Structure 1
Amino acid sequence: MSKIGAIILAAGLSKRMGQPKLLLPLKGKPMFRYPLELAIRNQLDPICLIGGQHSKTFETEAADLLNVDYIWNPNYEEGMSTSLKMGIQHLKEETDAVFIFLADQPFVPDLVIQSMIEQYRNGIRIVRPVYQGDLGHPILIDKSLFKEFQNITGDQGGKEIIKKYKNQTRLLPFEDAFWGMDIDTLKDYQTGENYYKKITY
């Protein structure tokens, strides 16, 4: 059985929000906990969260969650790629594949994760969800691509690599656009609060 880990990217600067958005509460808990708990529920292991300015606070706010490695990225202001490379470096010897989660996407359900794992185990090297036609996260990548992902720079999230291996990539369509929603602005956050009042999963 393949060992699948998780990297939670949580070192963003929240420039559009104007405050540390990942610490804002959604349904009684800080936003960043949702992808962490999703990874734990689906038995992904190992799990690491890559943080920047608020790394220590993340660790404190999720102290009850076991088997999570919290890693501080001193170069977080240089873009997402620095966090992604740190995560892959941390997990590459222990995993056959990793999920790459964005910590500001709290609405991804278990169904997405389980469907992606099923596709990966059919021999696909990259699996990515598509929410009502929009490419989304998390992305599941095979360890054979780790080295290439470690060579990206700036705010690249691996788009060119995914394009390069499009024949070995499976795009999984899902109908609920909210599942792939980023919380970037106060309006997004308010929309997310209203959405969480309605869902039951």
Structure 2
Amino acid sequence: MTKKIDALLLSAGKSSRMGFTKALVDWHNQKLIQFQIETLLNSGCTKVFIVLGHEKEKIIPYIQNKKNTKIIYNENYKTGKSSSIIKGINNISKNTNNLLIIGVDQPRPIKFLKKLLHFHLKNNAMISAPLNNNKRGHPIIFNEKMFPEILKIDKFDDGLRTFFRKNNKIVQTIKINSKWTHLDLNSTESLDKARGLKLI
């Protein structure tokens, strides 16, 4: 069976620190969520599963009917990112071998993603992450064997921190010395700064 990597794009949060919906930020001549979907597919992801929650009705018109995508609604998005991860994994394809998890506020260049995807498949890794300045970044790719463990995370826990404390030894990293490795668009300042970075 050919191994492939699907993507879980998390876009359900309220974006309270930003003050407006992150997914609909203008980003390189399109909306950020459109950029994310196209970049993930063009980098080699087979399908993109998009988890929506807050203001989903504003986002859907920009992404509906896109090929190789599926929209998932997380009605419990207010409980935190973990609930979106759980909802997403429970609604992905049964034949998903590997899953890249990324936030809508974590755009990455195609070249960056291709390196990570190639590394994960080449090493048949359980968990893969980019590394810069000895610090892990995002996105992270998980083998399907890790899905049951991820589903055990607490919906009210802060993301996957507890999961990584338990599974830290099996995380494989690839050095990608790039400012993109740790980039999160969680403020207007970080957004303005990121717009000045080259997509290479």
Is contact 1:42–1:114 with CA below 8 Å preserved after alignment?
yes
Match of 2:16 in 1: 15
Residue type at the aligned position of 1:88: I
Return the letter of the residue paired with 1:115: K
Is residue 181 from structure 1 mapped to residue 194 from structure 2 by the alignment? no
Q: Secondary structure at the match of 2:114?
A: helix
Amino acid at match of 2:186: D
Q: How does 1:91-106 map to 2 (within 5 A)?
A: 91=92, 93-106=94-107
Question: 3-state DSSP class of the match of 1:184?
Answer: coil
**Uncovered stretches (5+) of structure 1, i.e. residues with no partner:** none
Whether 1:162 aligns to 2:191 is: no
What is the rounded CA distance, in whole Å, between the counterparts of 1:178 and 1:120 in structure 2? 18
Q: Deviations over 1:150-170 (max 9, x none)?
A: 111225322332332233211
* Residue in structure 2 matched with residue 113 of structure 1 by the alignment: 113
1:104-142 per-residue CA deviation (whole Å, 9 max, x = no partner) reads 012x12233222223322221000112334322111001
Q: Provide the residue aligned with 1:65 in structure 2.
A: 66
Q: Are the equivalent residues in 2 in contact too, given 1:109–1:179 (CA < 8 A)?
A: no
Q: Identity of paired residues, percent? A: 22
Residue identity in the other structure for 1:87: G
Q: CA deviation at 1:96?
A: 0.9
Scaled by the length of structure 1, the TM-score of the pair is 0.89
Question: Greater CA deviation, 40-49 or 110-119?
Answer: 110-119
- Give the secondary structure class of the aligned counterpart of 2:117: helix
Equivalences for 1:48-63 in 2 at 5 Å?
48-63=49-64
What's the CA shift string for 1:144-193, capped at 9, x where partnerless?
Answer: 11011111122532233233223321122221123431111111121122
Q: 1:190, 1:87 → 2: CA distance?
A: 30
State yes or no: 1:45 paired with 2:49.
no
The one-letter code sitting in structure 1 at the alignment partner of 2:46 is: D
Task: Give the Å deviation of 1:85.
Answer: 0.6
Q: Is the 8 A contact 1:10 1:52 kept in 2?
A: yes
CA distance in 1, matches of 2:31, 2:95: 29
Quick one: which amino acid aligns to residue 172 of structure 1? I
Q: Could you report, residue by residue, the CA deviation over 1:28-73 in whole angstroms, capped at 9, with x for unpaired residues? A: 2111222211211123223210011222332211246312111111
On the 8 A contact 1:52/1:76 being kept in 2, the answer is: yes
CA spacing shift, 1:200–1:145, aligned 2, 3 Å: closer
AA aligned to 2:52 is G
Q: Which moved more, 1:120-129 or 1:72-81?
A: 120-129
Query: For the aligned residues, what is the CA RMSD?
Result: 1.9
Look up the equivalent residue of 1:187 and give its one-letter code: E
Contact persistence 2:72–2:91 (CA under 8 A): no
- Quote the Cα distance in structure 1 between the aligned partners of 2:157 and 2:104: 15
- Structure 1 segments (4+ residues) deviating >4 Å: none
Where in structure 2 are there 5+ consecutive unaligned residues? Answer: none
Give the 3 Å change call, closer, same or farther, for CA 200–62 of structure 1 in structure 2: same
Find the counterpart in structure 1 of residue 82 from structure 2: 81
Q: Is the CA contact 2:22–2:104 (under 8 Å) kept in the aligned structure 1?
A: no
